[in-house]
Amino acid sequence: MLWINKPFFQYATGALIVVVTLYYLGKIGYIVNPLQEFIATIFFPLILSGLFYYLLRPVVHFLSRFLSRAWSVIVLFIVLAAGGFAAIYFGGSVLASQMKDLTEDFPERVTELSSQPGEILESYNISFIEDADLEEKAVNYISSIFENTGETIFGILNAVTNVAVILVVVPFLLFFLLRDEGKIKASFQKMIPAGYEEEGNEILEDVDQTLSTYVIGQFLVAVSVGVLMYIGFWVIGIEYRLALALFPLILEIIPFFGPILGIIPALLVALLDSPGMVVKVIILTLIVQQLQSNLISPYIMGKKLHLHPAIVILLLLVGGSLYGFVGILIAVPLYSVLRVLIKDFWKIYKLRKREDKIIT
């Protein structure tokens, strides 16, 4: 039974138990519905505050060398506000103009694509289909793809708008998280049972390091991909390049599916340009994803959060089916934290068991 003690078996078993439990809990309405309301009103702002906390904490630590903790946070907020206003003043008009044109033009483009799929087939030299029934099925299939894609993209845009409203409360939560970091850590340390202080502090450090690595790493990877996509869009000469680059930047935080969703708007815009532009967008995406997979992510993330792709896909599917975008957002980091907890608790259990044998 040595295979039971293999780390992969232990992690896979833990992941399977968590996934199955969450799945069946999701089938119980009186459990899921209150949880969904809780996530929409409280949990989502806490998640966003936690993300920004890990991103900004290193800056606060640096400023704390020269200022008090509270003043460090205040100065950081002032700098961020000034930087935000400067970005809006110098580059916001271009982005706002492109987003406005894109949101106004996008429905018309989707309607045009879904109402004229036959012309699109001819422009891409697919008019060789002689079977009328087969051609009609192909046309209807393409129409449904464009209609569903339009609904998906605008669903994402609506979600982003809702997040913008939620962001009103995030700065207040973020301020107290950054200012009272020591108090929050001390409150967790008080929960550690007597005699387990060393192990408990190690667990807290491991969880904190795991979340920090994931959040900061994903942020840097997403920014890198967004910048590369914008440069690529500029090189190939596609319209709305700045606005289109925001989609892969934002959706890069979703493993595997994010890059696919992020490139859909650019493909739709390219479809009404020319077949050559579609090919350019696809080639650009493949190049950027190769750079991201083989260079950017390994350099930034390293091997600290190495997860098997099958486990990641399973987590995303379950998280998305239960809690939508929020579930997708937290599935991987939540699993990473649970994996660290299981690993540390198992290590503590074996150490205590070994100590008991020595004593007896």
Count the domains in the chain: 1
Q: Which residues contact 160 (CB under 8 A, 6 or more apart)?
A: 250
Establish if 217 belongs to a structural domain: no
Burial state string for 299-321 with b = 16 or more CB within 10 A and e = fewer than 16? ebbeeebeeeeebbebbbbbbbe
When the pLDDT of each residue in the chain is averaged and rounded to a whole number, the result is 73
> Domain for residue 103, yes or no?
yes
Check residues 150 and 55 and name the one with the higher pLDDT: 55
**Vertex 254: Cα angle to 249 and 259 (nearest 5):** 55
Rounded Cα–Cα distance for residues 252 and 254 (Å): 5
Residue of higher predicted confidence among 90 and 241: 241
Q: Which residue has the higher pLDDT, 281 or 148?
A: 281
The total number of residues shown for the chain amounts to: 360
The answer, yes or no, to whether residue 262 has pLDDT greater than 70, is: yes
- What share of the chain in percent tops pLDDT 90? 6
Cα 336 from chain centroid? 14
Please check the confidence at residue 240 and state whether its pLDDT lies above 60.
yes
Handedness of CA 53, 56, 58, 60 (dihedral sign): negative
Q: Does any domain span residue 49? A: yes
- Rounded mean pLDDT, 128-134: 49
Most confident option among 57-61, 141-145, 260-264: 57-61
Q: Which residues of 250-277 are buried (b: 16+ CB within 10 A; e: fewer)?
A: bbbbbbeebbebbbbbbebbbbbeeeeb
Would 295 be classed as within a structural domain? no
Residue 106 lies in a domain: yes
Reported confidence tier of residue 105, pLDDT bands at 50, 70, 90: low
Instruction: Determine the structural domain holding residue 158 and report its residue range.
Output: 39-180
Q: Is residue 175 part of a domain?
A: yes
The verdict on residue 47 lying in a domain is: yes
Is the distance from CB of 183 to CB of 267 less than 8 angstroms? no
pLDDT single digits (tens) 285-326: 899 888 887 777 777 766 556 666 677 777 777 777 766 666
105 domain residue, yes or no: yes
Pick from 146-160, 234-248, 311-325: least confident: 146-160
Higher pLDDT among residues 230 and 342, named by residue:
230
